[in-house]
Amino acid sequence: MSLYGIENLPYGVFSGDDGTRRIGVRLGSGVVDLSPLGGLFAASTLNPLLAAGPPAWAAARAQATAVVAAGSSATPLDQVRLHLPFEVADYTDFYSSEQHALNAGRILRPQSPGLASSWRRLPIGYHGRSATVVVSETPVERPSGQLADGVFGASQRLDIEAEVGFVVGVPGRRVPTTGFADHVFGVVLLNDWSARDIQAFEYRPLGPFLGKSFATSISPWVVPLEALAPIPAPPQDPSPHDYLLPPGPGFDLRLTVDWNDTRVSSPPFAGMYWTAAQQLAHLTSNGASVRTGDLYASGTVSGPGRDQVGSFLELTWNGAEPVKLADGTTRGFLLDGDRVTIGGTAIGAAGVEIGLGSVSGTIRPATG
């Protein structure tokens, strides 16, 4: 059975030889054009569909399912170009894997390797740049910045972060955890590229800035929440504040990380400490609003094993324990020409495994 059968049907935006952008759904190794249906499918981006709300989402999915069931042909993916599926309004990145937080603390702050006192009290995050969110296969230029006191140059510790992104459809303020499915349309895979040396020099006392803002890549397919099967959220101790309860659903998403075609890690999303519903509730708890096209990310997904981590910082223990690739070369951090692909699957609402697509990027040399 295909990971992209009628049980899945993730949405994307594609173009053919004429360059016209159309909305379609992935079916197998092809895309089915939905633009002839008109209405919300006549747009060149998913934003009008995102803004339409849950009843319209359900109706659109029913239309797409009917088209596929009727035997509509799919254009092979190698004959189309895939685009950023929606116009990104704002971008927020969270820090919600307990194992990643513990690993990062042990590596970067060995004198105090535990979690910060606030970590289990609220979903920690930072605001990124929507202008540098790019679609999969967009090359990533090695960033330059201040690496130490008086030293400016190209990052030498370029890293990835394997994450899951949540796409906001309906705007809102002070969204309760119970309102998650009323506002969030679906999920994408996300790579929050990170320059660890730039980040290390700049992040105290304020936090991530130029070490993160140069590029964030997302998959071209948005899997609707309706296609996913929710699971119980992991236990949380201490119990969160009332506005973060109930915790909302968890999701059994299984990620993979390939470095130059070598599978180096398989991060499990099901163990994330803070849920997407809690992240949205916290994001809006001070009165901040979310808009159609807002994107917020889970934070690096890491499990307890070295082969389950979502960053190369953890995989190579800050470069001290390089990983050997299939071609016999070793790596501590990314070199120019390296290619990273993050993939993923999930158990869908229909009880079968479905694909989440993939997000890939290749490193280009710094130009400044």
Catalytic residue flag (residue 100): yes
Among candidate residues 83, 100, 183, 282, the one labeled active-site is 100
- DSSP characters for 114-146? S--TTTTTS--EEE--GGGEEETT--EEPPEEE
CB distance 161 to 311 below 8 Å:
yes
Nearest-angstrom CA–CA distance, 50 and 54? 9
Residue with tokens 């997302």: 218
Query: How many other C-beta atoms are found inside a 10 Å radius of the C-beta of residue 44?
Result: 15
Q: What is the DSSP string of 206-272?
A: S--STTTTT-EEE-S-BEEGGGBPEEPPPP-SSPPPGGG-S---EE-EEEEEEETTEEEE--BGGG-
What residues contact residue 358 under an 8 Å CB cut-off, 6+ apart? 136, 189, 219, 341, 342, 343, 344
Given a contact cutoff of 8 angstroms between Cβ atoms, the answer to whether 187 and 218 are in contact is: no
> Contact, 85 vs 189, CB < 8 A?
no
The tokens for 322 are 């390089």
Residues contacting 174, CB < 8 A, separation 6+: 284, 285, 287
Catalytic sites, residue numbers: 100
